[in-house]
Amino acid sequence: MGEAISLLSKMPLDHYQIISGGTDVMVTQRLSMHQKNRDWLDLSAIPDLKEIEVHDKGIRIGAGVTLSALRRHPQVQKFWPMLAASAAVTGAAPIQNRATLGGNLCNASPAADNAPVLLAYGASLEIAGQQGSRIMDYAAFHVAYRKTALAAAELLVAVHIPYPPDKSVSLYRKVGTRAAQAIAKVGVAACFQIDAAKTIVQARFGIASVAAIPCSLPTVSHYLQGKKIKQIDAAIVRKGITHDIAPVDDIRSSAEYRLETTSRLIWDAIQHVE
């Protein structure tokens, strides 16, 4: 890891194309002359990036862990089932065998399937550069369309996710043109902390493919806090969603479809609290 960071910091910005699993890079490489003239810095043989460590506070997932390894990991399935689910619908098996969690986040597509899950779980990122390591909330990582908070010569090292609260309910759904092998039109992850009386203590959401960056629903989260299912007004939830997201029209879907689908998926997720 140290050697990779040192190489990056010694060369001019843009000299190296960082590559991990290569499933995004190989596609852009074919499409861009600019990419073809760059040297590659391949992270795939750095053992630290491949580690998954489950500890008393949560899980640390190396940026180079493949989506296949994630979806099959027994403790990921048990404690963070939304992540096992999102990894399992990111492309198909051949892609999942190479594609890494770090690559999915650093590629910074607004449609990245694992992004909403990490927002809903309140994940943070471990980033390393010449000055050392820093931890940042994943919610602050995407700063603009396809732009991340990574500085020049910084690498994403790991993703940290705390255990979901003892009493919690979570749901992840992806809607695409087909059931498999399709980029999301909408991806929704929801994680509710509830108390013994099924009052919502905290509601956290992550949404993919509806805006320039993966986003959350702060207005809806605020409204739901302290409410039981029967106190929740569907019209207020929908109004909150309309306030929090400004869906885009693009080749995959219309803004209208995205807003409607997001609203229905969020309402469906809320029903799981009961």
Ligand X SMILES: Cc1cc2nc3c(=O)[nH]c(=O)nc-3n(C[C@H](O)[C@H](O)[C@H](O)COP(=O)(O)OP(=O)(O)OC[C@H]3O[C@@H](n4cnc5c(N)ncnc54)[C@H](O)[C@@H]3O)c2cc1C
φ/ψ of 262, rounded to 5, equals: -60, -45
Among 68, 107, 124, 261, binds ligand X (CB under 6 A): 107
Q: How many CA atoms lie within 13 A of 105 on its CB side?
A: 35
Q: Which of 95, 118, 273, 265 is nearest to 187 (CA)?
A: 265
Part in contact with ligand X (CB under 6 A); list of ranges 72-80, 100-108, 191-199, 250-258: 100-108
From the CB of 220, what's the least distance to ligand X, in Å? 23
Burial 88-119 (b: 16+ CB within 10 A, else e): bbbbeeebbebbbbbbbbbbbbbbbbbbbbbb
Among 83, 155, 159, 224, binds ligand X (CB under 6 A): 155
Q: Taking CB under 6 A as the rule, does residue 248 contact ligand X? A: no
Note whether 186 and 210 are within 8 A (CB): yes
Q: Which two tokens stand for residue 79?
A: 């404690």
Q: How far is CA 4 from the centre of its chain?
A: 24
**Residue 146 φ/ψ region, left for φ over 0, alpha for ψ in the -120 to 50 degree band, beta for the rest:** left
From the CB of 109, what's the least distance to ligand X, in Å? 6
Would you give the binding string for ligand X spanning residues 112-151, x where CB under 6 A is met? Answer: xx------------------------------------x-
Would you give the binding string for ligand X spanning residues 9-38, x where CB under 6 A is met? Answer: ---------xxxxxxxx-x-----------
From the CB of 106, what's the least distance to ligand X, in Å? 3
Q: What is the dihedral of CA 201, 207, 213, 217, to 10 degrees?
A: -40
Say which amino acid occupies 208.
Answer: A
Among 61, 156, 190, 224, binds ligand X (CB under 6 A): 156
Among 43, 125, 169, 217, binds ligand X (CB under 6 A): 43
From the CB of 205, what's the least distance to ligand X, in Å? 18
Q: Which two tokens stand for residue 75?
A: 């403790």
Q: Taking CB under 6 A as the rule, does residue 102 contact ligand X? A: yes
Say how many residues touch ligand X, by CB under 6 A: 28
Residues 179-238 that bind ligand X (CB under 6 A): 183
- Give the binding site for ligand X (CB under 6 A): 18-25, 27, 43, 63, 90-91, 95, 98-100, 102-104, 106-107, 112-113, 150, 155-156, 183
